[in-house]
Structure 1
């Protein structure tokens, strides 16, 4: 099974969200359903970045690494350099 580390961006919140999943399509639908949690109160989340991994452990490690930066600029550079 493959796992995807992803970064979402919301125009209305002007914020990024970092996560990982084994089913990106389903995950995005859930993020945009206005449920509880960080992504829940808006429904304009768009995928701006992805990375694929062979294992859940590697994907989770990478998600935590990106989150640990706590730097919008570093995240924007990552996105820009991928595209």
Structure 2
């Protein structure tokens, strides 16, 4: 099963969130409906970046790498900084 690591951005919070999922459309709907605890204060969230992974362990590893680097710095490294 393919997994996606995604980064979303909230103008309201001026902040980013990184996560991983196998159903990106559903996950984004959950973030923007307020059903996701951490992200409900930042609605609306905009999708900034997706990275396709071959497995959940690969996606979890990449998500952790991005969090450790810092989402903003990671995006700057790949020239997507906002």
Which TM-score band applies after superposition, normalised by the shorter structure?
A: 0.7 to 0.9
> How far does the alpha carbon of each residue in 1:3-49 deviate from its partner, in whole angstroms, 9 at most, with x for none?
00000000111000000000000000000112352201232101100
Q: How many residues align?
A: 80
Cα drift, residue 68 of structure 1: 0.6
TM-score by length of 1: 0.85
Between the aligned partners of 2:62 and 2:11, the Cα distance in structure 1 is: 24
Gaps of 5+ in 1: none
| C-alpha distance in 1 between matches for 2:10 and 2:58 | 26
Q: Work out the CA distance in 2 between the residues paired with 1:35 and 1:79.
A: 30
Q: TM-score, normalised by structure 2?
A: 0.86
Write the distance in 2 (CA, Å) between the matches of 1:6 and 1:71: 11
